Structures are given as structure tokens and as C-alpha cells.
Amino acid sequence: MPVTELNHYLVRASDIEATKDFYVDVLGFETVPRPNFPFPGYWLGLDGAALVHVALAGVERSDLYYIGSPDDAATDNAGVIDHIAFVATDPGKMAKHFKSIGVQFRPRYLPESSLYQIFVKDPNGIMIELNFFGVEDISEWSEGEVENYTAMPRVESSQP
């Protein structure tokens, strides 16, 4: 009985409208049908499949609804999770889109793996990683601000 895929993650948001708008307007998700849960929220995803469940923080009986996070989880707190990653396409278009709407992001590139990444924070402080595989040339749209993994200092470790 192996795990086969990520179904969704839940964000406890202080402002569910701003959070919904980020995932829809910035990342291109859509609002998808959501069951009639006893608390306010949205399901956001692609092609009818939910990837992100946004729920309102600070509701009464939150300990009943949100069993995986403490009451203060909605205050720029991602716990031990550093980031959530998605596969994406057309990195040049995405970078231009972010710039045109004033969203700050952090691009990184791993040339030997042809992997280009864009990191952006959602309104709740969750780092979102967008992975673009098979990217050989970033010169057309990168404008030199890209962090290069091969130039970063290495951590010495006895672990593989």
C-alpha cells in the first residue's frame, strides 16, 4: 500500500480571501468544488483537483477542525516544513508575470540538472517552490539575478 501522490495541504489563513487570490491570481490555480465542511474555506487546484485547502484561522472549536497544527499556526508559522513544491512550466512567462504584478520571488538554477526554480511566499509566509525541469538556457529572461547552486558553499557532512 504505497503512497502514490500528494493530494493537498491545508493552510490556516488569517485572510482566506488574500490567500485564495494569491493561489489563483499569482500561481494560476482555480477554485474547485469543496465539501460542505463546518468551517469557512476554499479548495484550490488545477483541472478540477484540489491541491491546496485554505481554511479560516481563529474560528471557534478550531481544535476540532484543524488537528495537525496549534492555534497560533496562522501567524507566519510553517512549523518544521521549509517549503511546498510544485512542478510548473514556462519559467520565463512565470517570472515576467510575477514582475508585472509586483510579486517578489527568488530564482535559483542547478545547471547540471537543468533545473530552474522560483521561490515565492504566499500571504501566510509559506514558501512555495516552483520547479521547472529541462531548462537548458535561462539567459533570455533571467536578467542575472539567479542564484546558482553550484556556486554556493558546500556543507561538509558525514551523511550522504
Break the chain into its structural domains and give their ranges.
Answer: 1-77, 81-153
| Residues of the chain above pLDDT 70, percent | 81
CA 94 to chain centre: 14
CATH topology of domain 81-153: 2,3-Dihydroxybiphenyl 1,2-Dioxygenase; domain 1 (3.10.180)
Beta strands in 14-126 (DSSP E): 30-32, 41-46, 49-56, 84-87, 106-110, 115-121
End-to-end CA distance of the chain: 28
**Buried b vs exposed e over 142-151: b needs ≥16 C-beta within 10 Å?**
beeebeeeee
What single letter denotes the amino acid at residue 58? Answer: G
The neighbour count for residue 103, using CB atoms within 10 Å, is 15
Over residues 73-123, the pLDDT tens digits come to 666 555 556 688 899 999 989 988 999 999 999 998 888 888 898 989 999
pLDDT band at 23 (very low <50, low <70, confident <90, very high): very high
DSSP 63: H
What average pLDDT does this structure show over 19-26?
A: 96
Cα 116 from Cα 80, distance rounded (Å): 24
CATH topology of domain 1-77: 2,3-Dihydroxybiphenyl 1,2-Dioxygenase; domain 1 (3.10.180)
What average pLDDT does this structure show over 140-144?
A: 70
- pLDDT tops 90 at residue 51: yes
Q: Mean pLDDT across the chain, nearest whole number?
A: 83
Question: What pLDDT is recorded for position 111?
Answer: 86
The pTM of the whole model exceeds 0.75:
yes
